Structure 1
Amino acid sequence: MKYKLLLVVNLFFLSLFSSAQDTQPVQFSFDKAKTAAGEFELKIKAKPAAGIQLFSTQKISEDLPVNTIINFDTAAKIFLRDSIKESGTLKTTVDATLNNATIKYFTDSVEWVQKIKLNKGDSTRIIGSINYYYKKGESIESGEQRISMQFQYNADDTAAIADVGNSSIQSKSLWGLLLAGIAAGLIGFLTPCVYALVPITVSFFTKRSKTKSQGKVNALFYSLCIILIYTLVGALVATVLPKNALNNLSTNWIFNIFLFVLFIIFGISFLGAFEINLPSSWSNKIDSKAGIGSYSGIFFMALTLVVVSFSCTGNFVASLLGLSTAAGKLAPIIGMLGFGLGLALPFAVFAFFPALLSGLGKSGGWQNALKVVLGFLELALALKFLSNADLDKGWRILDREVFIVLWVVIFVLMGIYLLGKIKFKHDSESAKNDFGVPYVSVSRLILAIASLSFALYLIPGLWGAPLKAVSAFVPPMGTQDFIANGGGGSNVIADKQNNSAVASPQKYITKLKKYEPLAAINNNLTIYYDYAEALAAAKILKKPVMLDFTGIQCVNCREFESKIWIDNGVGQRMKNDFIIASLFCDYNEELPDNEKRFSKLLNTTIETVGDKNEDLQAELIQASGQPNYVFVDGDGKLLVQGGYGYDATKGPKEFIAHLDKVKEEFKKRFP
């Protein structure tokens, strides 16, 4: 049974990594053509990959709805004329997997044409979707492709033709996520659902095994199974979601609202309002298969632990999966691997050294206090996800000062709780000293001091203090309505371009300038938000370009800006020696039709400004992840290979050295 289990695991990971290499089964491209005054054709071309049979729009039968369907939004239907025409080399065959039905499909390419009719002066974006079916090998699968194309009937009746295509995290970030997972696992181990099971579980292995060595082997296998189960959870997330979807998901406002609600629910649960448990029938069925008689029984014991401890560990799993969405395809696997390792490691240690059990503290009130503290932290972190959605949609409901006020209140309340002045549902009575007087332990006092001190540290941020320690989490300075040293956050940023020969930044500036870091304001930097504008300025001023691949919701980007950009040496070099372009890879403004195209590097559609910037980063340095600083000349050619990414161990000194290296290389090329 042991070898069968290992075989299943190996096959799973083999399928995981092989699926990561798959290309899209069908590539779509779009075109539009003017046929008469106010009349256009929307042309959709689909090209199946080798070995793919793309089904026609013609129905097979009413009982087999597996034909391709092209739908348009209701608002677009008033502009549609006639039905969609299909052209291509149509093939037919009898398919045994579909009850010997005759299927119609394409293997090379197919084109669908939809006529559009506009009235003079009309301007509309035709939006719809292609729900297509295809056969790959012996399986029939489906997919969906979005349609988005702008049509306009100008006074001179002209229309531009546009092509549209359908569309590695840094190792140090993965190491950081692994360590965060281990830390979360160790904290999860201390929760009541897990901690109380340690003596029973360890004794079960040490006393019921035939020999001590066999008991240790069983305990080690039990720990490995815990790690494996959590890793499989991360692997499933990475497998189900397609390439680049995790990064897009992390910046999606709906997903961030979902995480906000999830963290609020877990936070309130930890405060004692209610318990979150998986159905008891799940744990009962799994527990019935658990036992020490075989490796499969031990595996089900580990699975039982995972299920029954969900009420305490579920929030950690959700948090890691939510935070890992911005870190790449392998991030959920690494995060869950770390969590399983942190949770399982103590079981193995106590099984190998059972004498340590005697020093293990009893479970009790201190564990509920730990849950309450985690509840407060969950509520604080929930606000970060709400802030992400707020920044993406521009609601301005959680501006910087509002965010800081809420954090101050949360950490003040946490400090008061740690001092014993607030009690929750499951809290026990405070410990009493030798005189029968309730007292606060030294550990709780230290934590209370830390919490209240942190709240006091945040308060100056209400008047515009940079708050370097948490600048990566609070909203950008541009969202603050009042700054003590300069009035409104959006008004202190003036046009800083003094060279009349160079055009000031124009594209996206009204929407992205509010994300300009405080260091840029203090150093009086001119920042471009469009690659082409930056290159044009670089050619005129004969300076190298510093491409700052960043993100609106990028935590490490804010950390880098607050610790590196703020340095005087860095700021002066950026101001005097470089053209700065901040290219946001999560800015979701839709591109004009003539800028949309298919990216082979991302294997997806480039439809937004963020997609375009992410594709440029992949093209220049074959890497993703932000922040990343890439240096090019006015023609867009790399001055130094690779990018300069975030590294918590490096400071301004190292970045200055890198900037000087770029300057020297630029001087060699353009003496």
Structure 2
Amino acid sequence: MKTRMTLSWLFAFLLCLPVFAQMQDPVKFKAEWKELSATEAEIVFTGTIDAGWHVYSTDLGDGGPTSATFNVDEIKGAELVGKLVPGKGEKEQMDPIFSMQVRYFEKNATFVQKVRLTGGDYVVKGYLEYGACNDENCLPPTAVDFSYSGTAAGASAVAEQPAEEKPEAIAAQAETDSLPAAPAQLEGTADYWKPVVKELSEFGETQQQDTHSWVYIFFAGFIGGLLALFTPCVWPIIPMTVSFFLKRSKDKRKGIRDAWTYGASIVVIYVALGLAITLIFGASALNALSTNAIFNIFFFLMLVVFAASFFGAFEITLPSKWSNAVDSKAESTTGLLSIFLMAFTLSLVSFSCTGPIIGFLLVEVSTTGSIIAPALGMLGFAIALALPFTLFAMFPSWLKSMPKSGGWMNVIKVVLGFLELAFALKFLSVADLAYGWRLLDRETFLALWIVIFGLLGFYLLGKIKFPHDDDSTKVGVGRFFLALISLAFAVYMVPGLWGAPLKAVSAFAPPMQTQDFNLYENEVHAKFQDFDEGMEYARQQGKPVMIDFTGYGCVNCRKMELAVWTDPQVSKMLTDDYVLITLYVDEKAKLPEPIKIMENGKERTLRTVGDKWSYLQRSKFGANAQPFYVLIDNEGNPLNKSYSYDEDIAKYVDFLQTGLKNYKK
């Protein structure tokens, strides 16, 4: 006898549950000198942070994001007391990307450095360096310069206060600012370094909204709703409900109107569920859940429970008194309220089949961080679920051609169980990366997926049976082709055990660096990591240039290199047709001498190689986020609009081919 589970707590949990790069200025810091006594002072850095961004705290360790650091260029008549101290409001969590605990600030950030004045005149000059990221981009390490001087030992002189310093220039200023008068490191490069923001705009350099993800979320919900239709909890209800509406009124138009109202009620109920999630948690909290290791383990366990339910181990149902209460209320009322309550009853009684699908959908959309994602996903789900009730009411004759309920619906449930089990491993992988367990390296993950989809293929061929399957040994044509696809997909993943890129699953599998055994060597490497040397070489060879502004800590940069650059057509063009120059904006190697530049009306100091390349990106191209790819000719002029993070290979090939055509002109 089948075991039945009542998981009302699970339903309660469910109820509570890429753009073109351009110049970004999400963080604004100011520095302030505060004298505490005749011999002590503080340098206080106060920053405001745009929504969705965060600034990392101090002492995060090697291999992680850019920590906030206090750096001294000149100090006389004073000495530092201790280290840079972060202020209140610091948050901490396990970051699955860097596989370490990170501390950061949102909305506001404060850092304090104490200074002891030794007497007489003093001078303190230096800069605060910090790192800032959002969910898609990271800014290069950013400096906030300061310079204070005065007289200590009780003197009443007030330290000179610098004007408020913005961390980065804005795109509009980048074009008008000029380089300093012939600094040694930049001599002879004026033509290469000249701003081309206006020229880029002529290619249509504009920001586009991330509508692709919204369309994806809607259709993911729509497909989920279609799958829910063909389950034993929903499909048999369709003809009974439609017949009820048509028979309860002699007026056929009224019956159709009631069926439309019924469908609209289903949409309202599920969209309200999505809105409730957003209102209770908020978009940022949902996104935090998606990167939190504890919740990813919980998501993994939840999807495994759902899969076991679909396999027939038990049924996830809501308390029967809930549906009985709503059903009795529907019978005792009339009009629109009665129809709405009937729709609500459907939502409750079908939960054993729709609950796992809704749960998986909500877990998936939590990774977007979009405030409308849950409601949009539920809108797609509800429209698909409500569609047959309205269509069959309009065309009653279609009811006769409906497939009869039977074992094929159990097959759909089992297939969904296999899929939920496969996607559960994705969430376990995030937790595994976050804690550094190394239990689910890339080849282990792929081996499990190969087994899961292989078993799915054998099930569809009738070689494996579950408790609620019938004894029929016949395999229909549809099941055969689905089995063929599943087994072929399993075979496709086998070369990944030896390091093949497997672009079809790159978004789900752990990163390539977790692969212990890798025979794949089709990787693209830059010819130069110095802009001026690369430009001179390209001029001599008569080839166009692609500049790759990247960072050692840029995760999306690594994704592009693995998913896009390894494509044979892309790899060939980058190797044969272009001179590839990779510039790391977070390179910490010191310049031979600091470079003084004027930017945004203020003098700034470039101290590291990364500072130099970051300034090149800002001043020449009016952008400061990575990854950022731009094609230029031998004079430094753009050949196409820039390209940011987008793993669409066809778009990237078109981006490169357009640059080649314009270069040949």
What corresponds to 1:398 in structure 2? 440
Computed over aligned residues only, the root mean square deviation of the Cα atoms, in angstroms, reads: 5.1
- Given the superposition, is the C-alpha separation of residues 384 and 152 from structure 1 closer, same or farther in structure 2, using an over 3 Å criterion? farther
Matches within 5 A, 1:61-460: 126=86, 128-129=88-89, 149=111, 162=128, 170-242=210-282, 246-290=286-330, 293-327=334-368, 328-425=370-467, 427-431=468-472, 438-460=473-495
Deviation (angstroms), 1:161:
6.6
SS of residue matched to 2:313: coil
Aligned equivalents of 2:297, 2:584: Cα separation in 1 = 26
SS of residue matched to 1:192: coil
Deviation (angstroms), 1:197:
1.0
Aligned equivalents of 2:383, 2:128: Cα separation in 1 = 51
Aligned with 2:581 (options 579, 582, 594)? 579
Deviation (angstroms), 1:372:
1.3
Q: Which runs of 5+ in 1 are unaligned?
A: 1-26, 50-118, 132-142, 432-437, 487-518, 529-533, 585-608
Matches within 5 A, 1:615-630: none
Contact 2:643 2:655 in 1 (8 A): no
- Given the superposition, is the C-alpha separation of residues 386 and 324 from structure 1 closer, same or farther in structure 2, using an over 3 Å criterion? same
Aligned equivalents of 1:230, 1:539: Cα separation in 2 = 57
Which deviations, in whole Å up to 9, do the C-alpha atoms of 1:623-660 show, x marking residues without a partner?
Answer: 99x988667999x9998657566486945542323444
- Given the superposition, is the C-alpha separation of residues 293 and 428 from structure 1 closer, same or farther in structure 2, using an over 3 Å criterion? same
Aligned equivalents of 2:624, 2:124: Cα separation in 1 = 40
Deviation (angstroms), 1:557:
8.9
SS of residue matched to 1:181: helix
- Given the superposition, is the C-alpha separation of residues 123 and 652 from structure 1 closer, same or farther in structure 2, using an over 3 Å criterion? closer
- Given the superposition, is the C-alpha separation of residues 175 and 130 from structure 1 closer, same or farther in structure 2, using an over 3 Å criterion? closer
Whichever residue aligns with residue 325 of structure 1, its letter is S
Aligned equivalents of 1:256, 1:171: Cα separation in 2 = 26
Structure number with greater CO (CA < 8 Å, separation at least 6) is 2
What corresponds to 1:562 in structure 2? 563
**After the TM superposition, which of the residue ranges 242-251 and 312-321 deviates more from structure 2?**
242-251
Deviation (angstroms), 1:338:
1.1
Aligned equivalents of 1:232, 1:646: Cα separation in 2 = 32
- The answer as to 2:654 corresponding to 1:654 is yes
Aligned equivalents of 1:285, 1:541: Cα separation in 2 = 79
What corresponds to 1:7 in structure 2? none
State the identity as a percent.
39
Contact 2:221 2:381 in 1 (8 A): yes
Aligned equivalents of 1:216, 1:623: Cα separation in 2 = 57
SS of residue matched to 1:276: strand
- Given the superposition, is the C-alpha separation of residues 525 and 546 from structure 1 closer, same or farther in structure 2, using an over 3 Å criterion? closer
Whichever residue aligns with residue 567 of structure 1, its letter is P
Contact 1:545 1:581 in 2 (8 A): yes
Which deviations, in whole Å up to 9, do the C-alpha atoms of 1:180-213 show, x marking residues without a partner?
Answer: 2211110111111111211111111111134111
What corresponds to 1:605 in structure 2? none
- Given the superposition, is the C-alpha separation of residues 579 and 37 from structure 1 closer, same or farther in structure 2, using an over 3 Å criterion? farther
- Given the superposition, is the C-alpha separation of residues 237 and 164 from structure 1 closer, same or farther in structure 2, using an over 3 Å criterion? farther
- Given the superposition, is the C-alpha separation of residues 177 and 646 from structure 1 closer, same or farther in structure 2, using an over 3 Å criterion? farther
SS of residue matched to 1:545: strand
SS of residue matched to 2:330: coil
- The answer as to 2:518 corresponding to 1:476 is no
Contact 1:418 1:445 in 2 (8 A): yes
Aligned equivalents of 2:537, 2:582: Cα separation in 1 = 12
Which deviations, in whole Å up to 9, do the C-alpha atoms of 1:53-88 show, x marking residues without a partner?
Answer: xxxxxxxxxxxxxxxxxxxxxxxxxxxxxxxxxxxx
Query: How many residues end up aligned between the 2 structures?
Result: 482
Whichever residue aligns with residue 482 of structure 2, its letter is L
Alignment TM-score, normalising by the size of structure 1: 0.59
- Given the superposition, is the C-alpha separation of residues 215 and 655 from structure 1 closer, same or farther in structure 2, using an over 3 Å criterion? same
Whichever residue aligns with residue 192 of structure 1, its letter is P
What corresponds to 1:545 in structure 2? 547
Contact 2:548 2:628 in 1 (8 A): no
Deviation (angstroms), 1:315:
2.2
Contact 1:234 1:333 in 2 (8 A): yes
Deviation (angstroms), 1:216:
0.8
Which deviations, in whole Å up to 9, do the C-alpha atoms of 1:91-128 show, x marking residues without a partner?
Answer: xxxxxxxxxxxxxxxxxxxxxxxxxxxx9996586575
Contact 1:30 1:164 in 2 (8 A): no
Contact 2:42 2:112 in 1 (8 A): no
Contact 2:498 2:517 in 1 (8 A): yes
**After the TM superposition, which of the residue ranges 250-259 and 348-357 deviates more from structure 2?**
250-259
Whichever residue aligns with residue 316 of structure 2, its letter is I
SS of residue matched to 1:194: coil
Deviation (angstroms), 1:471:
2.8
Contact 1:570 1:652 in 2 (8 A): no
Q: Which runs of 5+ in 2 are unaligned?
A: 1-27, 51-78, 92-104, 135-207, 539-544, 587-609
Aligned equivalents of 2:34, 2:572: Cα separation in 1 = 49
Aligned equivalents of 2:211, 2:546: Cα separation in 1 = 28
- Given the superposition, is the C-alpha separation of residues 36 and 252 from structure 1 closer, same or farther in structure 2, using an over 3 Å criterion? farther
- Given the superposition, is the C-alpha separation of residues 307 and 574 from structure 1 closer, same or farther in structure 2, using an over 3 Å criterion? farther
Which deviations, in whole Å up to 9, do the C-alpha atoms of 1:482-502 show, x marking residues without a partner?
Answer: 12356xxxxxxxxxxxxxxxx
SS of residue matched to 1:270: helix
Aligned equivalents of 1:194, 1:583: Cα separation in 2 = 55
- Given the superposition, is the C-alpha separation of residues 29 and 243 from structure 1 closer, same or farther in structure 2, using an over 3 Å criterion? farther
- Given the superposition, is the C-alpha separation of residues 645 and 559 from structure 1 closer, same or farther in structure 2, using an over 3 Å criterion? closer
Aligned equivalents of 1:284, 1:262: Cα separation in 2 = 27
Matches within 5 A, 1:480-559: 480-484=515-519, 521=523, 523-525=524-526, 545-547=547-549
SS of residue matched to 1:343: helix
SS of residue matched to 2:234: helix
Alignment TM-score, normalising by the size of structure 2: 0.59
What corresponds to 1:78 in structure 2? none
